[in-house]
Amino acid sequence: MANVVVVGTQWGDEGKGKIVDWLSERADVIARFQGGHNAGHTLVIGEAVYKLHALPSGVVRGGKLSVIGNGVVLDPWHLLNEIETVRAQGVDISPDTLMIAENTPLILPLHGELDRGREAQTSVAKIGTTGRGIGPAYEDKVGRRAIRVADLADEATLIARVDRALLHHNALRAGLGMEPVDRDALIAQLTEIAPKILEYAAPVWKVLAEKRKAGKRILFEGAQGALLDIDFGTYPFVTSSNVIAGQAAAGTGMGPNGIDYVLGITKAYTTRVGEGPFPTELEDDDGQRLGERGHEFGTTTGRKRRCGWFDACLVRQTCATSGVGGIALTKLDVLDGFDTLKICVGYELDGQSLDYLPTAADQQARAKPIYEEIDGWSDTTAGARSWADLPAQAIKYVKRIEELIDCPVALVSTSPEREDTILVTDPFAD
C-alpha cells in the first residue's frame, strides 16, 4: 500500500486540514511530522467544525491511529486542552487512538515568554511569529537542552534537564530585561502534567515500522507551507523547522524509503500571514475581494491574511524541493466571478527576468511579478464534484496551472465540505 506525505506548497493556509481529513478516511495511520500548535487546521464534517492545532487531523475519524512525531515541538498543556475540546465534540481520544513519540521536545511556558519578549523589542525587525514558543523550543532542541516526553518519566532526569535549560534561559532573559524563571514552579508544573502525557508516549518509529510491514497505509501530515521552511523558505520570515516533504522521514523515524507519494496542497490564489516578501500581493479591491470571499483569517491567530494572485514560480519551486507528485488545488470557488485572473510566471529583478525567487532577502523584496492574464468565469464552481460540473474556463485555468508548475493536479477542492472534491489521481494508488 502507498504511504502519502501531505505538504503545503505556499505560505500555509492552503486547506491541508480538509484534504488530510478527506484522505484519512482511507488511511490507517495519520502522523504529524513537524511544527507546533502555531499551525491551525479547520475541518468541516457535516454540521461539525473542528479547529485543530496540535492534534493530527485524523483524530476526528474513528478507527484510525494518530501520531505526533518527534519532528513536532509539543506544548503539553495546550495538547490536553485541545483533547478535552475535541472530546466535548464527541470524538474519542485515548492511547489506542493517539500516540506521541517519546523523543518529542516539549514547549515550556518560558519558550512562549521568550518568543513574545523578542518580538516586543523595537530595535530589530519583527519576524511575525505567533508568540507560542515554537522557535525557542526548536532552538533548545538543537542546543541539546530540550526537555523531551521521555524525560517526564524520571524525576532526577527531569530536574537535570530543567537546570540545564535554565542556565541558558535565565541568562538570555536577563539580557532582555525579563525576570528569571521560577525553577521550582516549572518543575512542579511538569511533574503534575507528566502522567497525563506519558500515557500517550510510545516508540513511534517502531510502531510505524510495524504498521508498514503489516501493509497499513500511512498518511504523513505537515503543518505550515514549504515557503516557510527554515532552509527553503523566505528566510528569515519562516518557521523554525523543515516543512518540505523530506522532513516526514526524519520527523517520524519512518525512513525515506517509506514514502511513496507526495501530495502538495495548493491554493488557487496566494495568501500569507505575517511579515515577509510577497511578490503577487494585492492591496486593491481584488485583494480585498479574495480575502472576503476566501474568509482569509488565520485559524491560530485570527490575523487577516494578505492575498494575491497565484504564483506559479513559487509553487514550481516547492514542488521541486518536496518532490511533489501531484497537487490538490483548493479554494477554486473563491475565483468565481472574476472577469480576469492573473498568474505570476516569472519575476523582473534589476532589469533581468527570473523564473525562480532568489534566495537573498533584499532581492526577494525587490522582485516584481511578471503576469500572464487569463479570462475568468461567471458560473459557480462551488460544490463541484466532477470535471463536468466545472465551467470550461475554470478547467482551462487548472490546466494552465499544471503546465506552469510542471506538476499534475491530483485533486480539486471546491468548498470546505470534504465531499466537494474532484479526484483526478488517487494518491494512495500503488
**What pLDDT score was predicted for residue 46?**
72
pLDDT at 298: 63
User: Between β-strands 218-221 and 421-423, what pairing exists: parallel, antiparallel or unpaired?
Assistant: unpaired
Please give the model's pTM, rounded to 2 decimal places: 0.91
Task: State mean pLDDT over 304-310.
Answer: 94
Q: What is the pLDDT of residue 57?
A: 82
Q: What is the pLDDT of residue 122?
A: 58
Cell, residue 78: 495546550
**43 pLDDT more than 90:** no
Q: Which of 13, 21, 311, 420 is catalytic?
A: 13
pLDDT, position 158: 98
13 part of the active site: yes
Question: Quick count: other Cβ atoms within 10 Å of Cβ 216?
Answer: 15
Burial 2-36 (b: 16+ CB within 10 A, else e): ebbbbbbbbbbbbbbbbbbbbbbeebbbbbbbbbb
Summary mean pLDDT of the chain = 92
181: left (phi over 0), alpha (psi -120 to 50) or beta: beta
Comparison of pLDDT for 223 and 33, the residue scoring more: 33
Residue partners of 42: CB distance under 8 A and separation at least 6: 17, 18, 49, 50, 51, 52, 299, 416
Length of the chain: 430
pLDDT at 136: 95
Model confidence pLDDT, tens digit, residues 121-166:
756 656 667 778 999 999 999 999 999 999 999 999 999 999 999 9
Kindly name the residue from 37, 41, 53, 111 that is annotated as catalytic.
41
pLDDT value at residue 123: 64
pLDDT at 128: 61
Q: Are 55 and 98 in contact (CB under 8 A)?
A: yes
Q: What is the mean pLDDT of residues 236-253?
A: 95
- pLDDT of res. 265: 96
Tell me how far apart the alpha carbons of residues 215 and 192 are, in angstroms, rounded to a whole number: 39
pLDDT at 61: 82
Span 105-109, average pLDDT: 97
* 154: annotated active-site residue: no
**pLDDT tens, 354-368?**
999 999 999 999 999
